[in-house]
């Protein structure tokens, strides 16, 4: 019997160079502008983007609920790829993995996000919604803000 481990993949194009797109994922100030589903905001972000480095992000929902995510970087290739572990503070034993690939385009960057090693299909479905909304927010900040004015 073959066991299928749930995963998800999203591909999005953004109007930013690979360098700026990579920075949006690896600089806390930039990440705070877009990360999380629509009904949340980043309350805290600590990022050490190097192999073996860690990250910790605290999201706050409009209703006040607090969610904390953390992990460690496995692969950091500037402007090309990031891979990191992913675990909610409320369920650290359910660690999964996220990989983002950055492909240069004439008018920006194609981002391919793969989140795998989910505990179950329901968890993958919930993360698909969160990542879809996060990627929409990321695309929006580059669509409406001239690149030279971003932090």
Query: Residues in the chain with pLDDT < 70?
Result: 1-3, 144-151
Quote the pLDDT of residue 2. 64
Which residues share a beta bridge with 55?
Answer: 47, 71
End-to-end CA distance of the chain: 51
Helix H or strand E encompassing 146: none
Q: What is the value of pTM for the model shown?
A: 0.91
Q: How far is C-alpha 77 from the geometric centre of its chain's CA atoms? A: 15
Residues 6+ apart with CB under 8 A from 75: 51, 81, 82, 83, 99
Quote the pLDDT of residue 80. 98
Tokens 């996000």, residue? 113
Backbone CA torsion sign across 41, 18, 49, 89: positive
pLDDT (tens digit per residue) in 42-74: 999 999 999 999 999 999 999 999 999 999 999
Quote the pLDDT of residue 149. 46
Matching CATH number, 8-146, of 3.40.190.10, 3.90.1510.10, 3.30.530.20, 3.40.640.10: 3.30.530.20
């Amino acid at each position: 019997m073959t066991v299928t481990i749930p995963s998800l993949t999203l591909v999005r194009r953004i109007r930013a160079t690979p360098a700026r797109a990579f920075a949006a994922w690896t600089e806390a100030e930039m990440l705070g502008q877009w990360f999380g589903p629509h009904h949340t905001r980043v309350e805290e972000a600590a990022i050490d983007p190097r192999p073996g480095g860690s990250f910790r992000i605290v999201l706050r929902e409009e209703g006040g609920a607090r969610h904390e995510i953390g992990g460690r970087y496995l692969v950091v290739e500037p402007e090309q790829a990031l891979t990191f572990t992913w675990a909610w503070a409320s369920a650290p034993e359910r660690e999964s993995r996220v990989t983002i690939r950055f492909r240069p385009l004439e008018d920006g960057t194609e981002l391919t996000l793969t989140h795998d090693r989910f505990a179950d299909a329901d968890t993958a479905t919930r993360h698909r919604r969160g990542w879809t909304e996060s990627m929409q927010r990321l695309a929006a900040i580059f669509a409406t803000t001239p690149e030279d004015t971003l932090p």
